[in-house]
């Protein structure tokens, strides 16, 4: 990584990753609704149509099942399509193509074919987009074998992980938090691909382990700084990828701290917190000083009204309060 840095947004980092990978490999193409002329619904592909032309940056009809299926076919014939779904909720519109086809083709062909397909899509609440445009679908995606699931937390992570996703020969679901797109970060001039399956300990601590995904990493760091003023030293782990899952980093941290909080913006029921808690229990049970904690969205549809929406979204203050309860 270059030591020189500049301040750019999360959205710009994604656009840079797309640009650099399209320049590196002519087989990388971009498909989706409004990705060309408008530069993407969240401005993550600005300028790419002018640079690479309509054969490599393709605006599609409003037919997720259709253009995801087309992307799968392109991947099977040697291209590396990057598909943008405008909201992660729309994964359900193309669910058969993604979970019954793309996820299973490598297995059912005995490894004779590859499916180098990336599907990028926003998750998260906070824009008052109502119940059908605010969900976080990463736990659902992780349920199906054959798909890698990525949840970048910052601009640097988004850029490095997207490069890895595009170069992977397996289908990758790449979840970007919509409330992060305009957030600014210091990003090196050169960002190398970040390996999948290796979590990042973004803050070391000795009193409690906080495992977080996507925007909850930033919120957990904010909570940890506040907790430090109260004498509580929290370790924060950025999961980076849910599939593959870096359980070893979590286990080593919990052996040190004796306490674990998992925070993710998806629904609590059958969520990432449940899976990680169950997955690591056989290794950390006797190291735990207390039951594993979760902080997620409650099991209700996301409201349209901001007055109802914001109180249920996991926040830095909620992470702080959840940890404080443990030490009272």
Put the strands of the sheet holding 293-297 in their side by side order.
200-203, 234-238, 208-212, 260-267, 293-297
CATH T-level fold of 5-188 = Rossmann fold (3.40.50)
- Is residue 34 helix, strand or coil? coil
Q: What is the pLDDT of residue 1?
A: 43
Q: What is the pLDDT of residue 2?
A: 47
Q: What is the pLDDT of residue 234?
A: 98
Selecting among 64, 84, 176, 309, the annotated active-site residue is 64
Neighbours of 324 (CB within 10 A): 14
Q: What is the pLDDT of residue 3?
A: 73
pLDDT (average), residues 248-273: 96
Q: Render pLDDT for 80-109 as a digit per residue (tens, 0 to 9).
A: 999 999 999 999 999 999 999 999 999 999
Sequence spans of domains, the chain? 5-188, 200-327
pTM of the model: 0.95
Domains 5-188 and 200-327 share a fold: yes
Q: What is the pLDDT of residue 206?
A: 97
Q: How far apart are CA 306 and CA 311, in angstroms?
A: 8
Q: Is 133 a catalytic residue?
A: yes
Class of domain 200-327: alpha beta
- At residue 221, does pLDDT exceed 60? yes
Which 8-state DSSP code applies to residue 159?
Answer: H
pLDDT (average), residues 48-70: 96
Q: What is the pLDDT of residue 36?
A: 94
Selecting among 21, 133, 157, 265, the annotated active-site residue is 133
Neighbours of 53 (CB within 10 A): 11
pLDDT (average), residues 4-21: 96
pLDDT above 90 covers a percentage of the chain that reads 95
**Kind of pairing between the strands at 184-188 and 5-9:** antiparallel
Q: Is 64 a catalytic residue?
A: yes
**Element at 100 (helix H, strand E):** none
Burial group, residue 278, by CB count within 10 angstroms (0-12, 13-18, 19+): exposed
- The mean pLDDT value of the chain amounts to 95
């Amino acid at each position: 990584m270059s030591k020189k840095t500049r301040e750019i947004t999360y959205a710009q980092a994604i656009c840079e990753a797309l640009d650099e990978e399209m320049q590196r490999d002519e087989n990388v193409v971009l498909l989706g609704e409004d990705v060309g002329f408008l530069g993407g619904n969240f401005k993550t592909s600005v300028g790419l149509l002018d640079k690479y032309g309509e054969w490599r940056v393709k605006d599609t009809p409003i037919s997720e099942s259709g253009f995801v299926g087309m992307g799968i076919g392109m991947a099977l014939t040697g291209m590396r399509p990057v598909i943008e779904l405008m909201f992660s909720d729309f994964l359900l519109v193309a669910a058969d193509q993604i979970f019954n086809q793309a996820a299973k083709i490598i297995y059912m062909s005995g490894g004779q074919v590859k499916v180098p397909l990336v599907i990028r899509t926003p998750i998260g609440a906070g824009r008052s987009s109502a119940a059908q445009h605010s969900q976080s679908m990463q736990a659902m995606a992780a349920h199906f074998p054959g798909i890698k699931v990525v949840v970048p937390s910052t601009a640097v992570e988004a850029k490095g992980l997207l490069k890895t996703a595009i170069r992977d020969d397996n289908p990758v679901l790449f979840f970007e938090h919509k409330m992060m797109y305009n957030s600014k970060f210091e990003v090196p001039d050169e960002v190398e691909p970040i390996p999948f399956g290796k979590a990042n300990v973004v803050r070391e601590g000795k009193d409690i382990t906080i495992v977080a995904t996507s925007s909850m990493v930033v919120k957990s760091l904010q909570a940890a700084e506040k907790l430090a003023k109260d004498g509580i030293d929290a370790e924060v782990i950025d999961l980076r990828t849910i599939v593959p899952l870096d359980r070893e980093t979590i286990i080593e941290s919990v052996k040190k701290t004796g306490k674990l909080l998992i925070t993710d913006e998806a629904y609590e029921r059958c969520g990432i917190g449940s899976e990680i808690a169950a997955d690591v229990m056989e290794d950390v049970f006797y190291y735990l000083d207390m039951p594993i904690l979760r902080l997620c969205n409650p099991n209700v549809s996301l409201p349209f009204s901001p007055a109802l929406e914001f109180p249920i979204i996991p926040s830095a203050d909620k992470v702080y309060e959840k940890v404080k309860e443990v030490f009272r």
